[in-house]
Amino acid sequence: MSMLVLASGSSSRRELLERLGLPFQHCSPDIDERPQEGETPYRLAERLSREKAQALAERYPHHLIIGSDQVASIDNALLGKPGSIDRARHQLEQFSGRRVSFLTGVTLLDTRRHRLATHVDLTSVDIRALSREEIEGYIMKEPAIHNAGGFYMEKLGTALFDGIDTTDPSALIGLPLIALCRLLREAGVNPLLD
């Protein structure tokens, strides 16, 4: 049994973690993802990643638990996951021709040593000026209603972009692997050696 646990039900996060070649288990935590009053997008991403990891601590008492979550914002105003086609359409209309910030939190909880470390990665995406037809075409081909921002960067969503400003491209997909590798090394796990 692996000592690494991914606290997520996301197939995209599982695929990203598989890139490191380390065995892991995955389990979807049950937490309240609603923002707290006055909570900034940065603090929300940080808190949700931490709470996801902590939600599995009792179940996995001798493990390294990875929690991650992503939030989107424009001008520091929080944008939730669309949840419906109509809201996805509205978000894409709102994004058209603008810069959208994606904050992706990652937490590593070492339940063996009772240590916790969190990192939040900022990725800025410049969305092209989109026509109504392009928005409808995207929604028909890829209704990403459960993703922050209403699109899949790892799929057709890149056709919506003018550019990306990031230090870690994997963060936009949902799990910042560069930061995670650093957190794992600090916990004694090196993907290059283990």
Residues marked as catalytic: 69
Tokens of 99: 């810069």
Backbone angles phi, psi at 58, to 5 degrees: -70, -35
Q: 193: Cβ–Cβ under 8 A, 6 or more apart, which residues?
A: none
Rg of the chain (C-alpha set):
17
The angle formed by the CA atoms of residues 1, 171 and 157, to the nearest 5 degrees, is: 115
134 CB neighbour count, 10 Å cutoff: 15
Separation between Cα atoms, residue 76 and residue 132, nearest integer Å = 25
Separation between Cα atoms, residue 80 and residue 22, nearest integer Å = 32
Q: Any idea which residue has 């707290």 for tokens? A: 36
